[in-house]
Copies of this chain bind each other. A is one copy, B any other.
């Protein structure tokens, strides 16, 4: 869980509840606020230092760079989107899509993911953390799909992680590429689309080709 950048900070380290943890909290809060205020463009060590009251040298010592800070913030805000269990996959997909919409409805969170992706483009270590971070979340969310397959809602050869990728993809496209706010319509569209596509066998496990009904209606 601890990033490669910071020698200490996560619970279970040498100074668990003490000064170290306090400064980390203060710093990450400052990064988050600064990010919400000015985006990644206006994010600088100097500002984080001023807002948090922590000296710049300390920031460089523990996090090495802005990228490291953003990266650490990402891992901190991990457990914010819980997995639904409504009993049916379309219900679950819809619920999750709405959760994601609520999450990224806040400009702060869009700024955060923007910053993380931007940081990953510059720092290979951040890229690694980002990949494994989403990898874990994807594997976790995949359980939702596995239940659906067990219930017989989807073909047995369906790849759970691909389904969940397909659910998330429209949001990140909207945020990073189209650069428009996410809304309820996107959530409905994403959930409906993934459900239809998954039923059509568009997300097969490796080895199985996709069900080829793509030759006409």
Residues of A within 8 A of B (CB): 39-41, 88, 90-91, 93-94, 114-115, 117-118, 120-124, 127, 130-131, 134-135, 138, 153, 162, 165-166, 168-170, 172-174, 176-180, 185, 188-189, 191-197, 199-204, 206, 209-217
Overall SS of chain A's interface: helix
| Nearest CB on B from A161, distance (A) | 9
Q: Counting chain B CB atoms within 10 Å of each CB, which of A88, A131, A178 scores highest? A: A178
> Are the C-beta atoms of A121 and B39 separated by less than 8 Å?
yes
Q: List, in ascending order, chain B residues with CB within 8 A of A203's CB.
A: 189, 193
Given contacts A194-B197, A196-B202, A202-B189, contact A41 B123 (CB under 8 A): yes
> Are the C-beta atoms of B166 and A192 separated by less than 8 Å?
no
Q: List, in ascending order, chain B residues with CB within 8 A of A194's CB.
A: 193, 197
Apart from A114-B117, A117-B176: 15 A-B pairs, beta carbons within 8 A: A40-B122, A41-B124, A93-B214, A114-B121, A130-B177, A131-B179, A138-B178, A165-B178, A166-B193, A169-B172, A169-B173, A188-B209, A189-B204, A191-B214, A192-B200
